[in-house]
Amino acid sequence: LFGQRSAALAEAGFPAQISHRENQSLLFWVDENQRRMRLDLDGRGGFTANHPDGPRPLSEAELLAVLDTDGQMLSPNVALRPLLQDSLLPTAAYIGGPAEVAYFSQIAALYSHFGMHMPVIMPRHRLTLVESKIQRVLDKLNLSVGQILEGDAGFVADYLRRHAGQELAEGIRSAETQIQDALQKVENLLQEADPTLLNGLEKTRGNIEGSFGKLREKITRSLEQQNGTLVAQLERVQRFLTPEGVPQERLIGAFYFLVKYGPGLLTDLADVLTDDVVRHHVVAL
């Protein structure tokens, strides 16, 4: 049932947040050493525990007996855990982040199957807090928070090429374009004269592109050395807004901000945040 739901979501264009094998149950077996092993269906009404020392067969009767004597030897996986939780402590509404909310689109069918009411699922606010010292750097560099949030690992290098080495970068792009245009003309001539030579031309094109790539890397390193202060400022902003390349809210805990700005921060956030949980909020501190 869970696999069918996951497949239907994938077919509709929604990637599954919880991976699922065709013969996978939603349970783990916990051995005497507290090792959790995935339980798979064996196709004959029984189960197989994926033990590090080799597969261990378990019958349905054995699992039912374990539930009566030592239920802690069975553990739900990420898909079944919310149902177990809600069966013990019924939940009216669940507020979660993007990944958690996406889980429920997969496990909704399980709630129906077990005759349970699924909680109302509410996305939490997504926000980035911007300290004044970070905003000053952004203003100085004529950057927005959005540009940092949308940037990738190569953002600093791209910024340097656009600003500190703009003229040089434009010269490289112009030279590369001219060479590619010339190679295209040669390709057109070879198509008529001797198509067997086209493979050699493609190798030449690949070598040229590789050489330009290495040249760009050397230029970037040179710009970084010449603009050490600028690089440090850019990296500082990145570390605060997108630490380790992920949104701030996923890595920097609320306690950092609460200790620094006090409990009044919660009231301030409640005042400025709207009911819109779709867009990403940027809040200046």
- Return contacts of 101-107, CB within 8 angstroms, 24+ apart: 102/14, 102/17, 103/17, 103/18, 103/78, 103/79, 105/9, 105/14, 105/17, 106/2, 106/5, 106/6, 106/9, 106/16, 106/17, 106/18, 106/79, 107/2, 107/5, 107/18, 107/79, 107/80, 107/82, 107/83
- Sequence-distant (6+) residues with CB within 8 A of 108 are 5, 118
75 in Cβ contact with 30 (< 8 Å): yes
Instruction: Tell me the domain boundaries of the chain.
Output: 2-123, 125-145+245-285, 152-241
Task: Output the pLDDT for position 175.
Answer: 81
Instruction: Report helix angle 264-272 to 254-261, nearest 10.
Output: 110
- The single-letter DSSP state of residue 44 is S
- The SS3 call for residue 276 is coil
Cα four-point dihedral sign 275, 276, 278, 283: negative
Kind plus residue range of the DSSP H or E element containing 193: helix 166-193
Q: CB–CB of 3/22 below 8 Å?
A: yes
Contacts of residues 179-186 at CB distance under 8 Å and 24 or more positions apart, as own/partner, are 179/208, 180/205, 183/208
Structure pTM? 0.60
Q: What is the mean pLDDT of each run of 10 residues along the chain (285 residues)?
A: 76 76 84 84 84 83 86 86 91 88 85 91 92 93 89 79 67 81 88 84 88 81 74 90 90 92 92 88 92
- What per-residue confidence (pLDDT) applies to 138? 93
Q: What count of residues does the chain have? A: 285
